[in-house]
A and B are shown apart, each in its own frame.
Chain A
Amino acid sequence: MNEKTIAGYCVKCNDQGFMEDLNEWNEDIAKELAKEESIELTEKHWTVLKYLQDQCKEGVDITMRKVGKSGIVDIKEFYQLFPKAPLKTASKLAGIPKPVSCI
């Protein structure tokens, strides 16, 4: 396990920069991580991040299909908000683990 200082906060991160404890997350950290991805967070971004965190707390596996049916964004909009790899990028900014398979 690594520790990393983001926006002045020392947080537990894995090798790929995903936070390991959602309790350590705050909005300043999300803003700092967004800057690294060249994303400026709007109201819509925050709503998506909040949705992902809620799903994670409920123990639900996060998928593209679920986000697309969330009523917050459709998949195209999700790509516009978090370009290239939206599920991975949004998970990182939300302070939750990236989706994984069995190996």
Chain B
Amino acid sequence: MKKSILILGAGTAGTIMANQLNKKLDSNEWQITIIDKETKHYYQPGFLFLPFDLYTPEQVVKNIDGFIPKNVQLLRQDVHQIVHSENKLLLADGKVINYDVLVIATGSKIAPEEIQGMDGSEWYKSIFDFYTFDGALNLRNKLRTWEGGKLVVHICEMPIKCPVAPLEFAFMADDFFRKKNMRDKVEIIYVTPMSGAFTKPIAAKELEYLLESKQIKIVSDFNIEKVDTEKKQIVDYGDRSVDYDLLVTVPTNMGDDLILRSAMGDDLNFVPTDKHTLQSKVKENIFVIGDATDIPASKAGAVAHFESDIVTGNILKYIAGEPLDPEFDGHSNCFIETGNGKALLIDFNYEQEPVKGTFPIPGIGPLRLLKENRINHWGKLAFRWIYWNILIKGRPIPFVTSKMKKAGKQINK
């Protein structure tokens, strides 16, 4: 009988793992199974473009089936519980599946119910998220006819998926309303629980000008307690309040409820994971990838892509009984849309904060790090093609390595 490796979740991280493991494991010896109750795979970076009518819904969604290799079994099932002490899953329909190795790729989701007043009668009327397909689409419909007022772009609490997305949303909103000739009717206010829009010294020095030039007002150190939908205010624990006409919020991000039901997570249902080997701290035959982990790396598709090489390598080592490689360095790479056809690019890891430089080829580029220009914007647009055709198929992106390269970066030591 074949041994079994199970992947939970067929989003970005799970799909990459299915493709990687399919190439590396002997199919006579191993059965790879991926489980997800959903049928659609979303290109989540596209959720940022959808509200501004820059992408159509069709451009950001495809069927999950199309990205799972033939040899990998795709199960459309709801998982009730992981019983890690017995190496088995309990499915919602009562069936049991045993495994030898488990890969958790269950991601993170928004939890607006964590904040009093948020997901009540005003949800998708004057309060929106753009981290879900429904949220982004409803917000698009709202923005098409909105006549202006106070637009509050807001982060509830950290950590969140794609931490720069709300800032990008604010930049793109500025551009959107300028092009609609109604920027003078809109006040954009960015509200964050952090100490500012930029918290890393070099990024702060290089990028503060963006907020001023786009007339975006910052409210920092704001820890939301509740939404007062009567007064149209968000209120923080220190009794400060910010008025809104349109609230675009990033709700609390949490791991999947399955992690809670399996008693495997932290206070936000993220799975405790070794930040270098990506083996779970729960049990040695469980590996965790992508947004589902509690590691201090960005929750982003590029990070899941970089992690996949390390997780695949360490699963092979685990199967062979060899010590794991502590290879993951927290590498993250992302484009930051700044509006007006321009974007920034940042490349960093656990130790190295974002700095200026060239990427991906040191000294040449063609992309520029921590600098706003058009070619970075084209890079962001090209990334949608790269995502569907290279990234989730687990193929390497030319010149881009799992470990962060120091070459090409202006690092002061």
Contact of A65 with B201 in the complex, beta carbons under 8 Å: no
How many residues of chain B have a CB within 8 Å of chain A?
29
From known contacts A79-B238, A84-B238, A85-B221, infer whether A65 and B199 are also in contact, taking CB-CB under 8 Å.
Answer: no
Contact of A61 with B159 in the complex, beta carbons under 8 Å: yes
Bound form: Cα–Cα A79–B222 in Å: 11
Q: Pick from A5-13, A27-35, A36-44, A93-101 the stretch touching chain B.
A: A93-101
Contact of A103 with B237 in the complex, beta carbons under 8 Å: no
Bound form: Cα–Cα A62–B149 in Å: 35
Choose one: B158, B199, B298; the contact of A63 (CB below 8 Å). B158
A5 to chain B, nearest CB (A): 22
Bound form: Cα–Cα A87–B163 in Å: 19
From known contacts A102-B332, A102-B354, A103-B207, infer whether A61 and B296 are also in contact, taking CB-CB under 8 Å.
Answer: yes
From known contacts A63-B157, A65-B267, infer whether A101 and B237 are also in contact, taking CB-CB under 8 Å.
Answer: no
The reply on A56 being an interface residue by CB < 8 A is no
Choose one: B164, B199, B225; the contact of A98 (CB below 8 Å). B199
How many A-B Cβ pairs are below 8 Å? 69
From known contacts A61-B296, A83-B238, infer whether A99 and B158 are also in contact, taking CB-CB under 8 Å.
Answer: yes
Bound form: Cα–Cα A73–B163 in Å: 28
Chain A's closest residue to B239 (CB) is A79
Q: Mark B200-230, 1 if CB is under 8 A from A, else 0.
A: 1101000100000000000011010100000
Bound form: Cα–Cα A61–B296 in Å: 7
Inside 8 A of A83's CB, which chain B residues have their CB? 238
The reply on B194 being an interface residue by CB < 8 A is yes
The reply on B289 being an interface residue by CB < 8 A is no
The reply on B268 being an interface residue by CB < 8 A is yes
Q: Which A residues from 53 to 103 make CB contacts under 8 A with B?
A: 59, 61, 63-66, 69, 75-76, 78-79, 83-88, 98-103
Inside 8 A of B159's CB, which chain A residues have their CB? 61, 63
Contact of A64 with B221 in the complex, beta carbons under 8 Å: no
Contact of B237 with A102 in the complex, beta carbons under 8 Å: no
The reply on B21 being an interface residue by CB < 8 A is no
Inside 8 A of B348's CB, which chain A residues have their CB? 102
The reply on B99 being an interface residue by CB < 8 A is no
The reply on B198 being an interface residue by CB < 8 A is yes
The reply on A47 being an interface residue by CB < 8 A is no
Inside 8 A of A86's CB, which chain B residues have their CB? 238
Chain A's closest residue to B162 (CB) is A102
Closest 10 CB pairs of A and B: A85-B221, A103-B203, A100-B199, A75-B237, A79-B238, A101-B163, A101-B199, A64-B223, A102-B163, A102-B298
Residues of A within 8 A of B (CB): 14-15, 59, 61, 63-66, 69, 75-76, 78-79, 83-88, 98-103
In the complex, 29 of the A-B residue pairs with CB atoms within 8 angstroms, ordered by the A residue number, are: A61-B296, A63-B159, A64-B193, A64-B223, A65-B157, A66-B267, A75-B223, A78-B237, A79-B237, A84-B238, A85-B195, A85-B220, A86-B238, A87-B193, A87-B221, A99-B194, A100-B200, A101-B158, A101-B194, A102-B163, A102-B164, A102-B200, A102-B348, A103-B163, A103-B164, A103-B199, A103-B203, A103-B336, A103-B354
Residues of B within 8 A of A (CB): 157-159, 163-164, 193-195, 198-201, 203, 207, 220-221, 223, 225, 237-238, 267-268, 296, 298, 332, 336, 346, 348, 354
